[in-house]
Amino acid sequence: MVAMYKCIGCGAALQSEDKTQPGFVPANRMQDEDVICQRCFRLKNYNETPDVMMESGEFMTMLNSIFEKDGIVLKIIDVFDFKGSLIPSFNRIVGNKRVIAVINKVDLLPKSTNMNRVISRAKKMLADEGITAHETITISAIKGHNLKALLDIVSKESKGQDIYIVGTTNVGKSTLINKLIEDSTGEKDVITTSNIPGTTLGLIDIPISETQSFIDTPGVVVDSQMTHFISPKDLKVIMPKKEIKPKNFQLNEGQTLFISSLARVDFVKGERSSFTVYASDKLKIHRTKTETATDFYSKHYDTLLAPPEIESPILIEDTDIFSFRTTERSDILISGLTFVSIDEGVEVDVTVPKGVEVSLRPSVFKGV
């Protein structure tokens, strides 16, 4: 029986026959120690990746394989994209395992943010999806914030069993594991990380004792995230990398905010109100009159509203429009792009590319 070797970066089975398939490595490197595949090499050194043909169904089949295995699950949630962090059929994947909800990237939020409110909103979102978290904690994997507290929870809940790290693409799973490994062993960047969705291609088993492992799982691609409507090179534009500085706009009824070229928020009805945008500092926010907004967009989507660079005016061609009326101060969440805090008693229409998720929640910034 031929031994199967796996890439230590993404978990894909190594092979030297087909460059378009996961795990490709030149034949003369197959026997190298700690070998990584060509895809991971390019990610690690150039932050770019060749295409590989791996359908989402294959990801789900791989994830479903953990159903009957013993262990606990760390469900990673991107604080900047609650809805986009939900995995379809999550309960079917994890079975009866105990779930720890880990809200990552809190370093992106303003320091004055009430974290108890963030935890409360996350618990409600999970409960609405039928998911019960036995523990919920906020962390920053990249900054190392609250990782000791997380490890204490993991030690208490796992009882020596394996720990499965589960999440959608780009929530920071591999970054978290790399940090935990670094703190434990001193080794850095064992798992491949990137802005590009779907970096991890297989189950990666990282032993932490003779009987227990961290297991990194493939990031599940959720089509409703804005990240799937732009090119990989523009992901770094829309995804914030440092503490967000909110931008506040006073709007009158009949005015519109463009969030770069990717989303439009129309103030339909209400008294003069505050609209506070939480987004990457690389995105341009533009205010204009609603009656001329479509014409403005058609002329400037690739100039005044760029970056990111888009090839056509996607907010005109094929869109979804979401209408909301607030009864309290609320946040509009546009999956993978931004959230916008608005006052009580206003009516808004939100236009996004067709398929992008938009939702409304009570504001996590109320009373801050």
Taking the chain (368 residues) in runs of 10, the rounded mean pLDDT of each run is: 68 84 84 79 60 53 78 94 85 87 96 92 91 94 94 92 88 84 66 53 75 82 81 85 94 98 98 96 97 97 93 93 97 95 97 95 74
Question: Quick count: other Cβ atoms within 10 Å of Cβ 110?
Answer: 12
| Phi-psi map region of 105: left, alpha, beta (phi>0 left; psi -120 to 50 alpha) | left
Q: Concatenated DSSP letters for 245-282?
A: --EEEEE-TTEEEEETTTEEEEEEESSSEEEEEE--TT
Q: Concatenated DSSP letters for 128-158?
A: HTT---SEEEE-BTTTTBTHHHHHHHHHHHH
pTM for this structure? 0.80
Kind plus residue range of the DSSP H or E element containing 124: helix 115-128
Q: Tokens 């990801």 correspond to what residue?
A: 59
DSSP secondary structure code for residue 66 in this structure: T
Return phi, psi of residue 113, to 5°. Answer: -65, 135
Q: What is the pLDDT of residues 13-61, one digit of tens each?
A: 889 888 878 888 888 888 777 788 887 777 666 555 444 444 556 666 7
Strand partners for 259? 263, 285
Q: What is the pLDDT of residue 79?
A: 94
Q: What is the pLDDT of residue 89?
A: 79
Q: What is the pLDDT of residue 199?
A: 54
Q: Tokens 């090179």 correspond to what residue?
A: 233
Q: What is the pLDDT of residue 357?
A: 93
Q: What is the pLDDT of residue 51?
A: 42
Single-letter residue type at 195: N
The C-alpha angle with vertex 81 and arms to 109 and 298, in degrees rounded to 5, equals 100
Q: Concatenated DSSP letters for 298-364?
A: HHHTTTTTPSSP-SS-HHHHSEEEEEEE-SSSEEEEETTTEEEEE-TT-EEEEEEETT--EEEEE-T
Closest CA to 264 of 295, 235, 227: 295
Q: What is the pLDDT of residue 92?
A: 80
Q: 126-132 long-range CB contacts below 8 Å, 24 or more apart?
A: 126/75, 126/101, 129/86, 129/90, 130/91, 131/75, 131/90, 131/91, 131/99, 132/99
**Contact at 8 Å (CB) between 106 and 70?**
no
Q: Concatenated DSSP letters for 188-229?
A: ---S---SSS----S-EEEESSSS-EEEE-PPBP-TTSGGGG
Helix 173-185 × helix 147-158 angle, to 10°:
90
Q: What is the pLDDT of residue 201?
A: 58
Q: What is the pLDDT of residue 296?
A: 98
Q: What is the pLDDT of residue 247?
A: 96
Residue 24, token pair as written in the block:
């490709």
Single-letter residue type at 308: P
What's the maximum distance between 2 C-alpha atoms anywhere in the chain?
73
Q: What is the pLDDT of residue 50?
A: 44
